[in-house]
Amino acid sequence: MCSILWLVAAGLVARLIAQIWLSVLNEREVKRHKHALPEVFRGMIEPQEYERSVDYTLAKGRFSHVEHVLDAAVLAIIVFSGILPWAWTAWTGLVGAAAWSGALFLIVVMLAVSIPGLPLEWWAQFRLEERFGFNRGTLGLWISDRIKGVAIGLVIGFPLLWLLLKLVDWIGGLWWLVGWGVLFGFQLVMIVIYPMWILPLFNKLTPLPEGEVLHRLMELAGRAEFPTATIQVMDGSKRSAHSNAFFTGFGRFRRIVLFDTLLQQLTPEELEAVLAHEIGHYKLGHIPRMLALSAVSTLGAFAVIGWLASSPMFFQAFGFADMPLPVAFLLFVLLAGIPAFWFTPLTNALSRRHEYEADAFARMMTGGPGPIVAALRKLSRKNLSNLTPHPVFSSFYYSHPTLAERESAVARG
């Protein structure tokens, strides 16, 4: 095995060990608190409900071990078995090596790679989530979602991949720089069209009906100088009892979407705090910052792909006699998760900082910490959130601060 393959193998094993170690670390911390509710949460949650949240966390932790091992095994088979060179040779022997066939090859392989994970996805929803009362979906809906996802991937992904591969013929050596611009432009367009045309294929979106809630939320939007024609409600309850709210789009295409489960769980005052938090992300410039970070990371990714595509040693290491660009894309997509894993704490640290800032904005807009704290506590209870994660685990994986951290920050002002 050449040095490149040894490096990939070492990275794959190191990631798997880190994933399992972090999960075990978190499970031990959660078990340590199972029968002793931390003082800060007493009065917020009943002991029986707290123990149920612990059981849910532990069940997800055990399930994650299976997911991590399966992901590592599938990737190892793909990379080290020689199946990729065989598949590429067979594919090009049948349909040639044009840009369109390369794009289709990428889609077919990525679909094939996703198949081993389908039983785990089914188990997660219809066994694990069902056990704790969260699953609301049916098998028919689950199958329909995946068929729609494949269809959308073909309709949108195929022409985009074809264009990226065709740039080599049109531009030559700097194709990757133009390709980055094309993909980043595509991402901006998707921010606009996703909530308008793609999300409605999976969920029904309706304007928040007239009443006290709408009146309070529209007043809040006015005070925050956040012009909006409507606030939309999504029927998330047809799949899950989990609740959420999110902000999407920009400019006149921006939208705030509330899960219908959120409306069922929170009071109008608490909903106002949640909306203020989401508006805070917009007003504080978090969206442009994350877009800029995405642009930089995507540029780096294309630069790496451009370098790999011109490296005979890279292709030879994986058993390829020539240097097909679709294979460079494919190998990058398959392997990028290994180094990216170690950057997870950095991106999550930025995300947590944004959450603190949005919480502070919500406090300011609602006149104090009470409404946002009440909303966070209720959402934590309803979603059976882990109230006692290990600090290392939460620092590595959590895009949001823990409940205790958020409460402390909001209380300090």
Torsion of CA 136, 142, 145, 147, to 10 degrees: -170
372, pLDDT greater than 90: yes
SS3 259: strand
pLDDT, position 251 = 65
b/e for 328-367, b at 16 or more Cβ within 10 A? Answer: bbbbbebbeebeebeeeeeebeeebebbebbbbbbbebbe
SS3 105: helix
Q: Using CA atoms, how far apart are residues 12 and 1, in angstroms rounded to an integer?
A: 15
**CA dist 21 to 66, 112, 170, 266, Å?**
13, 29, 48, 36
For 14, residues 6+ apart whose C-beta sits below 8 A from its C-beta are none
Give the sign of the dihedral formed by CA 283, CA 289, CA 291, CA 292. Answer: positive
pLDDT, position 186 = 94
Confirm whether pTM is higher than 0.95: no
Contact yes or no for 208/230 (Cβ under 8 A): yes
Cite the active site residues. Answer: 278
SS3 33: coil
pLDDT, position 256 = 82
Over the chain, what is the mean pLDDT?
Answer: 93
Q: Using CA atoms, how far apart are residues 295 and 303, in angstroms rounded to an integer?
A: 12
Q: What is the pLDDT of residues 118-128, one digit of tens each?
A: 999 999 999 99
Q: Using CA atoms, how far apart are residues 117 and 228, in angstroms rounded to an integer?
A: 40
Q: What is the pLDDT of residues 243-271, one digit of tens each?
A: 888 877 666 667 789 999 999 999 999 99
333, pLDDT greater than 60: yes
